[in-house]
Amino acid sequence: MNLFITGIGTEIGKTVCSAILTTYFKADYWKPIQSGDLHYTDSMKIKDWAGKQTICHPETYRLILSASPHQSASEENISIKIDDFQLPKSANHIIVEGAGGLMVPLSDNEFMIDLIIKLNIPVAMVVRNYLGCINHSLLSILALRQKKIKLEYVIFNGDFPEDTERVIRKNINKETKIINIPEIESLTKGNIECITKKIKIQDHEYKNRAQKQLE
């Protein structure tokens, strides 16, 4: 299975979740746009966390400035176009990691969600708990529905209040599956492997059914 890893915002753990899913599916990894942090890219992190044997396909764009891709590209007089991107050829699964959220601009007219449409692969959406995460989650879900993009997984990354997780789950389509990933204190290959072995992929009604059985 090929998956596009997106998030409801930035700095919410997409690369960590990508490492876990890359390990879980024994997949290749591809970061189409690396914007900033060229000294330690997300592909390098995947190699550290998922293992040196992981195939990381080269980025289409490697941009110096740590900013939105459209701004980083402008600083280098580069124009990013959706047609520049092609899913790498591989006999293996590929985990594709986006930059930021769905509406991060690649140019003045094209956004990360347009790249997902171009690649034509389902999405795994990473959610992290913070004030405003419900609003950002539901808006992201609505955007995917509007564009008829399949939301294969919602990944709850870290600890969540029950009320927060419940509301988000209630607004997910029935076919969307849920993955809960615990807080990770130390990002090491060993810890990633340990968490990967404990992953349970659930349908979105799993917790509701479990709770009713206890009542």
Measured in whole angstroms, the distance separating CA 95 from the mean position of its chain's CA atoms is 9
Relative to beta strand 177-181, strand 201-203 is antiparallel
**Contact predicate 79/107, CB 8 Å:** yes
Q: Half-sphere exposure (CA, 13 Å, Cβ side) for 6?
A: 27
193 is annotated as contributing to ligand binding = no
73 is annotated as contributing to ligand binding = no
Q: H-helix or E-strand containing 196?
A: helix 189-198
190 is annotated as contributing to ligand binding = no
210 is annotated as contributing to ligand binding = no
Catalytically active residues, by annotation: 31
For 72, other C-beta atoms within 10 Å of its C-beta total: 22
13 is annotated as contributing to ligand binding = yes
42 is annotated as contributing to ligand binding = yes
132 is annotated as contributing to ligand binding = no
Residues tagged in the binding site annotation for Mg(2+) = 15, 42, 97
Residues tagged in the binding site annotation for substrate = 35
Residues tagged in the binding site annotation for ATP = 11-16, 42, 97-100, 182-184
